[in-house]
Structure 1
Amino acid sequence: MPSQQEIRALTGIRGAAAILVVVYHYLALGAGSGLGGAFIKHGYLAVDLFFVLSGFVMALSHGRDFPSGYALAPFRRFLTKRFARIYPLYIVTSFACLALWLVDGSVHDRIPAPSLLTIVSNVVLVQSWAIGASLNGPGWSISTEFFAYLMFPALAFGLLHGPRRAIPPFLALAAALLWILGRLPNQAVHQDFRFGPLDLYIGETAYPLLRCLVGFSLGLVAWRLTSLPVCRRVMAWRGTGDTLVLCVLLLMAVPSSDLILILLFPALIMALATGTSLSAHILALAPIHRLGVLSYSIYLVHFPILTHLEPRLAALFEGAQVAHPHLMSAAILIPVTVLLSLATFRFVEKPGRRLFRAAPADGPDAAPVVVSGARP
């Protein structure tokens, strides 16, 4: 694994996942039942890839800071960096969504009026801890990941510094938990429907929190496994990364493959982190890498555009009798989202990090750095 340099392939796959989430939100409702429809509907799993990738990067960057669990000084430094990374853009887009709801009455039949509890819980990032909704839809995953950060020292102590013999039972437990979550009826998760069994995002229940913690913990285990020579050799083989990418892409088109896909994500990230496969080189290319740098902005900016502009643009296309109006509006608004993300990255994300004294200019999530000898 390279040392003292960015793992560009992991930045790139974050960008690809962000675009997949956007495409999913635009097109999943109209997707058919064929292979293409299944692929698009599985786009929600890109968020689970984010969770696994986040756990891997946190273990890489901060795993050595918590060999005995919680310690005040390193925990404070860790939370300061994470808060600076996620909060400025999160809170700006959340209040932007609140303002848009106030001025755009056309969405009031689809989005209920936010209560004071909703607003306050969003401000303090706890809304998805079985409390309520997010002002900005994708904010549910930011809230759950913030909980994972608070749990990180304990998770690091158990999964990164605990006995290796505990890893197989943990993997079995993680698979069982995901299977159970996927079997829950819609009434239990407070959703009328979901595009896949693990499409759990309603903050009134604790299920999204469990979904995040399992994915995040799988990322920690993936990093722990890189300390094993046999894993490093297998993952460094050029064909491993390409085989795993191909398997994931094929399974995306297969209905009911959700659990298998999530369990493949840790191995996929481990293989891409070595940078030896053709897939890793493709994901490291400048355009895809740039999408990765912008991925957090893309993720949080796309939803208000989808909510407030897409229905109007689709209605214009329908009025003009243009075929596939929603597809046409997506073809226009997705590039608009990327362009707007350039602005939010420059004028919100980067200044926000400086305001909260964050260190890396491009952010530890978008451009993880491998520290020499950092394997737990």
Structure 2
Amino acid sequence: MQSKALPSKTHFQSLDGLRGVAALIVVAFHVFEEFSYGDHVKQILNHGYLAVDFFFLLSGFVVAYAYDDRWDRMSITDFFKRRVIRLQPMVVMGSLIGAALFYFAKGPVFPPIAQTSVPKMLLVMLIGATLIPVTTGTLDIRGWQELHPLNGPAWSLFYEYVANILYAVGLRKASNRVLAILAALSAILLVEVSLRQGDMIGGWSLTVKQVHIGLARLLFPFLAGMLLMRSGKRIHVRGAFGWASFLLALCLCFPRIGGHAHLWMNGVYDAFCILIMFPIIVAIGAGNGKSAGSPADNRLAHWLGALSYPLYITHYPLIYIWTEWVDGPAHPSGHTALPWIIGIGLWCTAIVIGYACLKLYDEPVRRWLSKRFLGRATA
């Protein structure tokens, strides 16, 4: 059944662009993460993992902006049609790319790959295309206990759907006072996790501890994004997109604080970024309204925003191969520029793949699905 057509809303170009900035940094974070050999303190672009928390805050803002005033013309079914059309095609593509590259990462870093049959791998691919999480048992075909072993970052899309469900069934009806109370309570949960483990890393496994972390990372940012949109709080500065991008990059690339001896110090930093800095950055980005600034800023922000989701959801199968090479026996001994050259090339390759997926797959598929199920050309 075709949904009632609703007019499209103009995007906040700066916020789209900030999503792209965060996506570029998180890919670089994953590329250079392997040079730390598992030691978070030594990671280059150390806080790139916080990009996910920033994505959740943006999501709360954008979902509230796009749908809060449409419920008199839209059912819950209509809402989920729109969200599935927006998110699911690239989830499927990420699972397909993960399957296509799966056996290229076979080696001592990922021992289960060598014992994984093609039928089992294809079963995990099909499950991953639905975003249903796999258990940590026989379907953990990589050995990292991921919700989605073929495409690790899909865990955050699982929580994105959780947020959308919560929004549709209850949060959309909540007053700002109720949202503020919920945000305050979720901030306590976030701070508890951050101080206890020294960072906000986690959420990608189906264990009690990891689900705890995943919910802590989701709830406050999403609620804060909704509140920020509804409150109309904006920070107006000249060159808003540039300043917001600079502050975001500074937060995500800042060195680790406190070292192994004082993990709580880095936990304070992570909480400060999520609770304080990210809402400020979004308020700055939204301060110019729908425009990112100059025509050049608008074009750059539009391109970055369009690229962000395909880049984020398709890059990690390359990281698995990279991890096997960096941490495995094939890695060259001694100090050499080769890993850096390959790492930068991998980052560029991920951008090319993400952009190709956007133009050749994601946009055409969403146009077709929108026309078929929503009665209009875009989702």
Distance in 1 (CA, whole Å) between partners of 2:313 and 2:147 is 15
Instruction: Describe the superposition over 1:193-214 as per-residue Cα deviations: whole angstroms up to 9, x where unpaired.
Output: xxx6111132213221342233
CA distance in 2, matches of 1:243, 1:291: 16
Say if 2:70 is the partner of 1:58.
no
Determine the structure 1 residue equivalent to 2:159.
144
What is the Cα deviation at residue 356 of structure 1?
2.3
Partner of 2:147: 133
Deviation at 1:50, TM superposition (A): 0.8
Deviations 1:40-90 (A, max 9, x none): 1100111111111111111000012348xxx9x521111111111111121
Tell me the secondary structure at the aligned position of residue 145 of structure 1: helix
Q: 1:128·1:143 contact (CA, 8 Å) conserved in 2?
A: no
Distance 2:65 2:134 in 1: 26
Deviations 1:231-286 (A, max 9, x none): 34xx235498877666555554252211111112123212211228x986599353
Asked if structure 1 preserves the Cα contact closer than 8 Å seen for 2:193 and 2:200, the reply is yes
2:142: which partner in 1?
A: none
In 2, the alpha carbon distance for the partners of 1:223 and 1:79 equals 21
Q: Give the alignment partner of residue 31 of structure 2, picking from 16, 26, 29.
A: 26
Partner AA of 2:151 in structure 1: N
Equivalent residue in structure 1 for 2:349, among 326, 333, 336: 336
Q: Is the 8 A contact 1:293 1:362 kept in 2?
A: no
Task: Evaluate the alpha carbon distance shift between residue 157 and residue 129 of structure 1 in structure 2; reply closer, same or farther with a 3 A threshold.
Answer: farther
1:218 aligns with 2:230: no
The answer to whether the aligner puts 1:74 opposite 2:75 as a matched pair is: yes
Contact 1:18 1:299 in 2 (8 A): yes
Distance in 2, Cα, partners of 1:354 & 1:171: 35
Secondary structure, in 3 states, of the residue corresponding to 1:236?
A: coil
Q: What is the identity, as a one-letter code, of the residue corresponding to 1:296?
A: Y
Corresponding letter in the other structure for 2:57: V
Contact 1:8–1:283 (8 Å) recurs in 2? no
For residues 324 and 316 of structure 1, do their structure 2 counterparts lie closer, same or farther at Cα, with a shift above 3 Å needed?
A: farther
The AA in structure 2 aligned to 1:173 is L
Q: Which whole-Å CA distance do the structure 2 matches of 1:77 and 1:11 have between them?
A: 24
Contact 2:310 2:358 in 1 (8 A): yes
Q: Is the 8 A contact 1:84 1:357 kept in 2?
A: yes
Instruction: Show the counterpart of 2:91.
Output: 90
Residue segments in structure 2 that go unaligned for 5+ positions in a row: 1-7, 137-144, 258-265
Amino acid paired to 1:149: N
C-alpha RMSD of matched pairs (Å): 3.9
Q: Which amino acid is the alignment partner of residue 133 of structure 1? A: L
Contact 1:54 1:219 in 2 (8 A): yes
For residues 132-161 of structure 1, the C-alpha deviation after alignment (integer angstroms, 9 at most, x for no partner) is: 521201111111101111111211211xxx
Distance 1:306 1:145, change over 3 A: same
Match of 1:189 in 2: none
Distance 1:137 1:170, change over 3 A: same
Secondary structure of the residue aligned to 2:152 is: coil
Distance 1:5 1:121, change over 3 A: closer
1:268 to 255, 265, 281: 281
- 1:198 is matched with 200
Deviation, 1:39, is: 6.7
**How far apart, CA to CA, are the structure 2 residues paired with 1:29 and 1:133?**
21
- 1:350 is matched with 363
SS of the equivalent of 1:126 reads coil
Q: What is the CA–CA distance in structure 1 between the aligned matches of 2:103 and 2:359, rounded to whole Å?
A: 27
C-alpha spacing 1:124/1:248, structure 2 compared with 1 (3 Å): closer
Structure 2: how far apart are the matches of 1:102 and 1:169? 48
Matched, 1:155 2:171: yes
Q: Give the aligned partner of residue 40 of structure 1.
A: 45
Tell me the residue number matched to 2:182: 170
Q: Does 1:109 align with 2:111?
A: yes
CA shift, 1:336, in A, is 1.4
TM (normalized to structure 1)? 0.74
**1: CA distance between counterparts of 2:201 and 2:334?**
34
In 1, Cα distance between the equivalents of 2:284 and 2:135? Answer: 33
Maintained 8 Å contact 1:18/1:298: yes
Could you list the per-position Cα deviations for residues 153-186 of structure 1 after superposition, in whole angstroms to 9, with x for gaps in the alignment? 211211xxx1x4445433422321111222445x
User: Which residue does 2:236 correspond to in 1?
Assistant: 236
Matched-pair contact (CA < 8 Å) for 2:89–2:362: yes
How much identity, in percent, do the aligned residues show? 26
Q: What SS does the aligned partner of 1:201 have?
A: coil
Contact 2:182–2:223 (CA under 8 A) maintained in structure 1: no
Return the alpha-carbon distance in structure 2 between the equivalents of residues 85 and 177 of structure 1. Answer: 30
- CA distance in structure 2 between the partners assigned to 1:279 and 1:323 by the alignment: 41
* Change in 2 beyond 3 A, CA 1:42/1:280: farther
Gaps of 5+ in 1: 186-195, 364-376
Among candidates 3, 12, 19, match of residue 14 of structure 1: 19
